[in-house]
Amino acid sequence: MARNRNKKPIPRREFLKTSAVSVGTIGTIASDDARARQKTSPSSRGGVRSARQYNGNYFAENLNRVAFPLGGIGAGMICLEGTGALSHFSLRNKPEVFNEPCTFAAISIKGEKFARVVEGPVPAWKKFGSPGTGNGAGGTSFGLPRFAVASFNERFPFATVTLREFGAGLDAEITGWSPFEPGDADNACLPVAALEYDFTNTSSATRQAVFSFSAKNFMAVGKNPNSIRPAPGGFKLWGGASEGKPEEEGAFCAAVTDPEVKVNHAWFRGGCGTG
């Protein structure tokens, strides 16, 4: 780059002040331009969507970076995203905001060609921007079918995800919440995240469906011992500690209150092409 040696250098303080003003101006222009594009930008279904109203629902591209923390005050963190996905698993006393293990709920309708992960469409940045996505994003559930449309609303301490599928005659709603008892620190910090899945049959026919919740053992650490253990109404993911590092041990339990729940503690263990 050529430089004019006869020109006096700008003092550092003036340079910083000028830069700050320039960045602020550019930011304002960019924000105005983004708002203009947002009012006319196409949705994932090809339609035109309007800007999100203040305190209103999140939908379409507004869902891309929404995540509602669950797990109790100071008691670890799991986030319910605007699409219904679970992410930000920070379970070993440190934030892991990019930790999204393969964990998902699903529903299938008996006698019909309908089976869906109970989530909305996967944001494009996850499919094409995260590590490993260029090789197919192995170990994720991104390739499984999901509900066509999602919207999200939060009213602390509750977050609600509403899901729709065109022509399916079935709507779904996820409500996530944490223990929240002002003035009661012990109960407000319980390491618990609650998820309620509600389904509405909007068709005129009587139908039977199966709801399931699946997870890999994301508590396993390296070559440390690990296992998936039974628990009342569900299963427990356990990861052991290596010698001299007891802090590595951890467990995560997923359970429901239905006494008739059936639990399978192992997924298919074969490789590609095996029976």
In order of 13, 191, 208, the CA distances from 205 in angstroms are: 73, 41, 10
Which distant-in-sequence residues (6+ apart) come within 8 Å of 121 by Cβ?
Answer: 44, 83, 146, 147, 148, 150
Q: Which of the listed ranges 15-19, 74-78, 190-194, 271-275 does the model predict with the highest average pLDDT?
A: 190-194
State the pLDDT confidence band at 98, using cuts at 50, 70 and 90.
Answer: confident
Q: Which pLDDT value is given to residue 2?
A: 42
Sequence-ordered strand ranges (E) for the chain = 58-59, 67-70, 77-81, 86-90, 103-109, 115-117, 149-155, 158-164, 170-177, 194-201, 209-215, 226-231, 234-239, 250-255
Q: How do residues 198-220 score in pLDDT, each as one tens digit?
A: 999 999 999 999 999 999 999 99
Q: Which pLDDT value is given to residue 44?
A: 42
In this predicted structure, which of 46-55, 62-71, 118-127 has the lowest mean pLDDT?
A: 46-55
With 80 as the cut, is the pLDDT of residue 187 above it?
yes
Q: Which pLDDT value is given to residue 50?
A: 52
Q: Which of the listed ranges 30-39, 138-147, 263-272 does the model predict with the highest average pLDDT?
A: 138-147
* Whole-structure pTM value: 0.75
State the pLDDT confidence band at 268, using cuts at 50, 70 and 90.
Answer: low
Structural domain boundaries in the chain: 58-216, 217-261
Provide the CB-side half-sphere exposure for 36 (13 A, CA): 6
Which distant-in-sequence residues (6+ apart) come within 8 Å of 65 by Cβ?
Answer: none
Strand partners of residue 163: 150, 172
Cα–Cα distance for residue pair 230/251, rounded to 1 Å: 12
Provide the CB-side half-sphere exposure for 11 (13 A, CA): 3
Q: Which pLDDT value is given to residue 51?
A: 75
With 60 as the cut, is the pLDDT of residue 36 above it?
no
CB 80 within 8 A of CB 88: no
CB 78 within 8 A of CB 193: yes
Q: How do residues 132-181 score in pLDDT, each as one tens digit?
A: 666 666 678 888 999 999 999 999 889 999 999 988 999 999 999 998 88
The whole-number average pLDDT for the span 231-242 is: 93
With 90 as the cut, is the pLDDT of residue 91 above it?
no
Structural tokens at position 253: 């339990």
For every residue of 85-115, DSSP letters joined together read -EEEEE-SSS--TT---SEEEEEEETTSS-E
CB 154 within 8 A of CB 68: yes
DSSP secondary structure code for residue 222 in this structure: T
**How many percent of the chain have pLDDT more than 70?**
75
Across the chain, what does the average pLDDT equal? 79
Q: Which residue has the tokens 């977050």?
A: 159
Cα–Cα distance for residue pair 163/198, rounded to 1 Å: 10
**How many percent of the chain have pLDDT more than 90?**
47
